[in-house]
Structures are given as structure tokens and as C-alpha cells.
Chain A
């Protein structure tokens, strides 16, 4: 039984981390080599085991300060208040601009009428 052949083993060792995402990277010759090579089989088993352990960490939570959730909600309250204040201020500003525009238009209209009457 083959235990190691330097060139394919080195090349495959370099390929192993990427095989976890794309097993199609292996040629049939590579697969045949791995089927006979204990070194490559062990290497592949290590990476697969590593991936399995990493995936299992998804179900483990890092302990957090239980007060964090209240801080997060308070932060959201402040953001919502700021947003509401900003909206009110924007609406007020829009109203003032609208009023100013209407006043300017009115004054302009009066001036135009007055000018026309004078010239008539």
C-alpha cells in the first residue's frame, strides 16, 4: 500500500482546504491517488473534522453580559427618538419654507399688480 508519493501528496495537501467547498477540484487521478494513499486520507480527514467542529460552534453561544440586551434596546429607543425629532424638525422646516415661498409669491403678485396699475 502506498503511504506517500511526494509530488501528488504535496500538491493535494495544498488543494485540501479548497476541497471542502468544491470537491469537483479533484481529478479522477487525484481521487485514485487518495484512495491508495494513507497520508492524503489522513490529511483529508483532518480538514473534514476541522470543518465539522467549526460548524458545531454555530450552536455554541459566547456568554454575554445579560444587561447587554437592555442596552441594545435603549440604544434603539434613543435612535428612534432622534429619528422622530429629526422628522418633526424636517416637517417644521418644510412648513416654514413653504410659508416663506407662499408669502414671497403673494408679495411678488401684489408688486406685479401694483406696477401694472401704475403703468396703466
Chain B
């Protein structure tokens, strides 16, 4: 068995989710190869070669693969993937965009967002917003799988010395082009990789009030997230959304502030090690999953918490 892992990166740096995906590959067993596709990605390929347990890094460096356009990257992955037992990608917006296209090209069903490996062909994954866990077996010749990062502890980023090999194949479908992007800039840790996450919900009342959470987060070295209600209300941008259809996080500490605890939000954070809920409504469902609940006005509690930590 040889497993192909698609590296997650922004063209410059290798994203941590790649390490969780390699960890899932290691659980399956067999040789692990990593594909880095993009343009001007030498530094990413170098980083991928250092990942513990990786045997070989394939580098497809071409303008067609810049910005990870799925119309061009998916045919590349499908072509290479034919020679592998498994093709894995992180369940990031990129992985979710590209991998089903690969699976269809290989004429196999995909298994989305696995959270554990039972055996080389059997995996578990959440369905119904995490209200049920399905055990799924694949008989596909190439098993195409996205990996939920929070289900697997990352492998070491250093320690490996994989061979790096260039891939010459160029696929340019010509059906799509990149126009632009608006990426949020933040000095805080990335939401899905942070050890502590402070999230705000509708109870924050407006975007300006999120400053209380930013102040607390900066004191704790935490990332800041939000519930769907807060994002829909326009308080904060969509990239901060934690939930079933947003980001899935599982930090050491999750502090939910002014969040009622809708099912779809819980789906995104209930695997956190310790959950704190601060809400003035003592009936809020969030308290049913919280290790520590504080019934209080968040506008008094959060500044006080910031002072005391």
C-alpha cells in the first residue's frame, strides 16, 4: 500500500493540517508520498520533505496549479492517484473543493471528513452535524478520503528526509481563472490550529463588541471564532465561523461567549478538551456541553476574566 497525501499550503508555507492528514495516512499504514501542487512552491516542498514518516515528495510546479484551481489540480491528482491505494487530503476548503472532483474522475465514492481509521478500508465519520457517527467501508481500488484534522494528532513537522521528485504533467482545462482574494490578516493564531479559542455569538450584539474578545484572546494567546448567528448578523467575517459548515476546532480550551449552543455550532467545537460557556441565559443549551458554565452578563464577565488570567 502506498498513500498519496495532498499537501495543504498557500504557495509559501505548508499548512499544519497537512501534518494531521499524514497522521491519518500513518494510521492506515504503508508508504506515504506527499504531492505539492502549485507555482513557485520550492519552500513548501522542502517543508513537506522534512515531515516525519514521508517517503517521497512529488512537486508539480506550474502556473496552471497556482491558486489550486480544481479544474486543473484534480486531473493531476486523479492521474497520479491511479497508482496509489489511498488519496488523502485535509478537509479544508481546498481539500473539500478538489478531492470530490478527483474521486469522480477515478469513478469512486469519496469518504468525507474521517475522524478515525478502523482499518485500511474502514473509517468513521460524523453525519447529521455530528449527531451520529457512521462507520464506512470502501471497496474502491483507490480510496479517496478527506481527513478532519481534529481527529488526528499531527505528526512531527521535522525529522524526515524524503526524496523530492518533480512531476512534469501539466493539466490546464482553461475553464476557470483566478480573479482575486481577500484574506483576513491577523496576528492571532489560526483558528483550527490554536490551543485556545474564544468565540462570540449573537449575544455580542455587534461587531465592535468583539474587541472584548480580542483583548481576552490576546492575553491568552488565543484565536477568535464566532457562531453562525454572529457571522450571519454581519458582526464578523465568515472565516471566523465555527460549526458544522464552518471550521471544526478542537482546542485545549474553548470559551463560548454569548453563544446559545445551536446543534450546528456544537458540531464544530464539541471535541474541545475543556469548554467554558459564559451566557446570561441559564437555560442556554451550550451549558449542557460546557465543563464550566458561568451565568453572567458577558460585558462584565469578559473584561473581568481578561484582568484575572
Query: Do chains A and B interact in one complex?
Result: no
Chain A residues in contact with chain B, CB under 8 A?
A: none
